[in-house]
Structure 1
Amino acid sequence: MMYLLIAALCSVLVSLLLKWSKPRGFSAIALISWNYVAAIGLTAVLLKPDLTSLQHISNASKLAFLALGILLPSIFVMLSRALQYAGLIKTEVAQRMSLVLSLLAAFLLFAETMSWLKLLGIALGLCGVLGLIISCKTGNTSVSPLKHSGWLLLTVWAGYAAVDVLLKYISSLSYSTSTALFASFSIALLLLLAWQAVQRQFKPLLQPRHAALGLLLGTLNFCNIWFYIKAHQQLASNPAIIFASMNILVVILGVIAGVVLFQEKLKKSGWGFVGLSLLAIVVLYYAKR
């Protein structure tokens, strides 16, 4: 389970770095750009994507890769904003509970079988994350009004689910996950560089402090993926354990970090919705066994 713990820690550390960097004058766009530089290099070296499969790519595949390349950096930016305005705890829960929407999409688009346990887990998850979105009040004075932070959480929730659906779709087109990640990371980096060129915002990108923190961010982001894959390989006979444990660990570590490092506070109802989300993950674990 060491691989799983490292993957969960890396996931939470990505959020911590994004939240920590904003008040200190870092540009989220510049950091995310350097993040993709690290992610592309590490994906090429460690995951060894099959780039020959991209030589004769169909129009449907091109659109899917382009959509993923646009969506990934967009959601990353929304994640950064949600961390500032809605807080670490709620953002981590919203990000992890995107699995509920992914399951619904799998049922509707990929003909996945539905059981009463899956339906119960989806219902609990919906109640948990929607409750958190509606009750957007924390003790952090930087938190924005309810409507603003609620919409940011909703965007993160739906966006990460859309990324998962696109990866599933690309896999159905016979492309490996490593190839999908390499291609989409490359598109994301090119689009971010183009955006900064149009906006004439290259100055932060070229600063050593942005390069250093961005590369660290990308390394942690990649390690989250890498060790999650390793955990699946180690427990290949029971992927449901990885599925549940990873999500529960990230939520728990996110809650601890939010309370201890950023003094975030939730109302009693907010803690109840966090509990509902954790219960949903447990129910979905039994549904996937």
Structure 2
Amino acid sequence: MGFVVLAVLCSVAVSVLLRWARQAQVDVPQAVTWNYLAATALCVLLLKPELARLGAPDAPWQGWLALGLILPSLFVLLGRSVQRAGIVRTDIAQRLSLLLSLLAAFTLFGETASAPRLAGLALGLLSLPCLLARPRQDAGASARADRWLPLVVLVGFAAVDVLLKRIALDGTPLAVSLLATFAIAFVPMLAWQLWRHARGRAALTWRNLGAGLLLGALNFGNIYFYLRAHRALSAHPALVFASMNIGVVLLGTLAGVALYRERLTRLNLAAIPMAVAAIVLIALGAG
């Protein structure tokens, strides 16, 4: 379970770093750009993808291009959600993206809709209004708009998961897809940062570079340790799945409340055990 713990720590650390970015005067879009440079390098070094597969006639470039555009946009929105809606709401929403992934599994990939999975899906959907509830003090127009950011994160991560599953069905190794996606994501993001720098909107700085490389190490670490956990506990995939998602929900809640004193309504608090129970039911249905 050590790899699961490391994956959870890396996942929550990404959210903490994004939340810290504003007070540290780190430009999130710039940090996200350098994140993909680090993730690409670490992918080559640690996952050792078959580079020849990139030039294969059946290489899924359309899917990779879609992921390469969606992921960086989603990462920037994730940073905004963490800063405006909080770590707790954002991390839970990110984990509950599995609800839409599960719906896609039933409707697009022909997976069995067992009773526990349907119960988990229903409970997870019921938790969403509780998760999105904000304190009455946050009643301004900006706050009302920000409350929907976690939902955008949820939909975005579900779309990424569905795309990755669709590509995997064609027999493309995950390591190759990750490398292609990270490298593609880096190119338009770098072009955007050079344009912002040239227009005087956001100067390229060593601070942003350092924060971005750290972000990339944590982002990739989350993926790498999760994959290692599945290999180490290959006979218990449901245990790894549940432990990872529940761990992020609980540690993310602790980090948001303890480090940033995020205000949670009673409905927000109710969403936490509901999300945990939904994850357990879905894992039981998959196991």
TM-score, normalised relative to structure 2: 0.94
Q: Is the 8 A contact 1:87 1:138 kept in 2?
A: no
| Alpha-carbon separation, structure 2, partners of 1:54 and 1:202 | 35
Q: Check 1:279–1:269 CA distance in 2 against 1; reply closer, same or farther (3 A cut).
A: same
What residue identity is the alignment partner of 1:173?
D
Q: Is the 8 A contact 1:205 1:211 kept in 2?
A: no
| Alpha-carbon separation, structure 2, partners of 1:138 and 1:233 | 46
1:272 has 2:275 as partner: no
1:216 has 2:214 as partner: yes
TM superposition shift of 1:202: 8.4
What residue identity is the alignment partner of 1:243?
F
SS at match of 2:112: coil
Equivalenced residues, count: 286
| Alpha-carbon separation, structure 1, partners of 2:259 and 2:8 | 17
| Alpha-carbon separation, structure 1, partners of 2:46 and 2:248 | 24
Counterpart in the other structure of 2:193: 196
| Alpha-carbon separation, structure 2, partners of 1:91 and 1:49 | 31
Percent identity of paired positions between Structure 1 and Structure 2:
43
Counterpart in the other structure of 2:250: 252
| Alpha-carbon separation, structure 2, partners of 1:47 and 1:205 | 33
Counterpart in the other structure of 1:88: 87
Q: Deviations over 1:260-288 (max 9, x none)?
A: 10001211121011211111011112111
Q: Is the 8 A contact 1:107 1:114 kept in 2?
A: yes
Q: Deviations over 1:4-53 (max 9, x none)?
A: 11110010001000000123321111101111111000000110111211
Counterpart in the other structure of 2:61: 62
Q: Output aligned runs, 1:104-123, within 5 Å.
A: 104-123=103-122
1:174 has 2:171 as partner: yes
1:241 has 2:239 as partner: yes
Q: Check 1:175–1:120 CA distance in 2 against 1; reply closer, same or farther (3 A cut).
A: same
What residue identity is the alignment partner of 1:49?
P
| Alpha-carbon separation, structure 1, partners of 2:113 and 2:238 | 16
Q: Is the 8 A contact 1:71 1:163 kept in 2?
A: yes
Q: Deviations over 1:223-256 (max 9, x none)?
A: 1111111111111001000000000000100010
What residue identity is the alignment partner of 2:275?
S
What residue identity is the alignment partner of 1:112?
E
Q: Check 1:23–1:4 CA distance in 2 against 1; reply closer, same or farther (3 A cut).
A: same
RMSD of aligned Cα (Å)? 2.0
Q: Is the 8 A contact 1:196 1:202 kept in 2?
A: no
| Alpha-carbon separation, structure 2, partners of 1:198 and 1:209 | 19
Gaps of 5+ in 2: none
Runs ≥4 in structure 1, deviation > 6 angstroms?
A: none
Gaps of 5+ in 1: none
TM-score, normalised relative to structure 1: 0.94
Counterpart in the other structure of 2:8: 8
TM superposition shift of 1:145: 4.0
| Alpha-carbon separation, structure 2, partners of 1:206 and 1:265 | 34
